[in-house]
Amino acid sequence: AIEKLSKKDESFNKIDEVINNAPTIVQEIDKLILEMTSKGATPDQLKPLEEKRKLLMYAVQYGDLWNMGGKDVAGALFGMIKGKIGL
């Protein structure tokens, strides 16, 4: 049981880290996109960065929800899912 709690805490800590660093990472991706565009990058070359930026923007936009109680909701959902699939 302690191992399971430790793994859950570790996962939530990683999520916290992404949410807390998302604004900085988005700024760096924006700089990289501008630099690549100025050097003639094609839309196909920019697509992976734009997709990562889009995902990180969700972290920026919804990070407050996570911090206000999302961890508790996620923990409850994970517990229910694990119970239903027998983990």
Q: Do 57 and 18 meet the contact criterion of CB atoms below 8 Å apart?
A: no
Dihedral over Cα of 1, 71, 11, 79: its sign? positive
Mind listing the pLDDT tens digit for each residue in 31-41?
Answer: 999 999 999 99
Residue 47: per-residue pLDDT: 97
Q: Each residue's pLDDT tens digit in the chain (87 positions)?
A: 445 555 667 777 888 888 889 999 999 999 999 999 999 999 999 999 999 999 899 888 888 877 777 667 766 666 666 566 555
| Alpha-carbon span 79 to 38, nearest angstrom | 48
Contact 83, 66 (CB under 8 A): no
pTM: 0.66
The pLDDT value recorded for residue 73 is: 72
